[in-house]
Amino acid sequence: MHGRILSIAGSDSGGGAGIQADIKTITALDGFAMTAITALTAQNTQGVQGILSVAPEFVQLQIRSVLDDLGADSIKIGMLGAPELIEAVADVLDAYPDIPCVLDPVMISTSGARLLPESGMSSICVRLFPHAAVLTPNIPEAEMLLGRTISTVPEMIEAGQALCERGPKAVLIKGGHLNDAVLTDVLVSSEGVSTFSDAKIPTCHTHGTGCSLASAIATGLAQNLSLPEAVIRARLYVRKAIETAPPYGQGRARPMNHAVTL
């Protein structure tokens, strides 16, 4: 294993997203996964049935226990769920400014459940954006953060630039929600703008793709890949995962399952 990655995120009882997706992704990419669990969820392929937040002090204790002993080469931040958790995580990370963080601003689940109250958006912007080596919102999340509609790739670029001005070193806006045959993701940083495009895969198997992409990028950074290299490999990993998604659960269509080859 190469690279120590701490995932700070919620638990998905169905195993498709959250901490469970992060551990699977990091392990598949030959990293060493460590965790700080922020919430327990009761969920499956049909939706989220319940959420139970972990006490902020205990989330802090998990993070410190890992970083003060094992250390980390990168940190992935996912579902936090409440402003007090955001503040608690930021307070701890203030003491570790040199560890690159991949911030996935989890606000709404794929099934449509709200995972972060509106009051939490301001806390994310103020407290966590400055820690982000890269911010990875999808289009609805970017729209919520900026209060504007995004419906084209040029508007994605403008949104990425606007979000970069708020503190993240880079922003990767994921374009899966655009109604285009080609899926385009946009990476914006001080070094310029890069776009990554592929044909869309017709599928309902998108649960956990944001978690997997962010943790794959964090793994790449922990393994000394450049950010563009980490994004390219992470996108390939997620595409393979979508193409070979297993036919589990009653809420999904049931395609054939095949082995993943990167």
Domain boundaries, the chain: 4-243
Q: What percent of the chain has pLDDT over 70?
A: 92
Cβ partners under 8 Å of residue 248, min gap 6:
45
Give pLDDT, residue 117.
Answer: 67
Q: Catalytic: 208?
A: yes
3 catalytic? Reply is no
pLDDT score at 257: 33
Residue 162 above 90 pLDDT?
A: yes
Strands in 93-131 per DSSP E: 101-103
What pLDDT is recorded for position 168?
98
* Helical (H) or strand (E) element with 33: strand 32-44
Residue type, 36: A
Residue 251 has pLDDT above 90, yes or no: no
Catalytic pick among 31, 208, 219, 220: 208
Q: 19-23, 30-34, 254-258 — which is least confidently predicted?
A: 254-258
What's domain 4-243's superfamily in CATH? Ribokinase (3.40.1190.20)
* pTM reported for the whole predicted model: 0.92
Distance, in Å, from the CA atom of 7 to the CA atom of 108, rounded to the nearest integer, reads 19
Catalytic (active site) residue 174: yes
Quick check: is 24 catalytic? no
Which tens digit of pLDDT belongs to each residue from 60-93? 999 999 999 999 999 999 999 788 999 999 999 9
Return the number of other C-beta atoms located less than 10 Å from residue 153's C-beta.
Answer: 18
Band of residue 255 on the pLDDT scale cut at 50, 70, 90: very low
| Coarse DSSP helix, strand, coil percentages of the chain, rounded to the nearest 5 percent | 40, 25, 35
Q: How far apart are CA 260 and CA 262, in angstroms?
A: 7
Which of 174, 175, 184, 219 is the catalytic position? 174
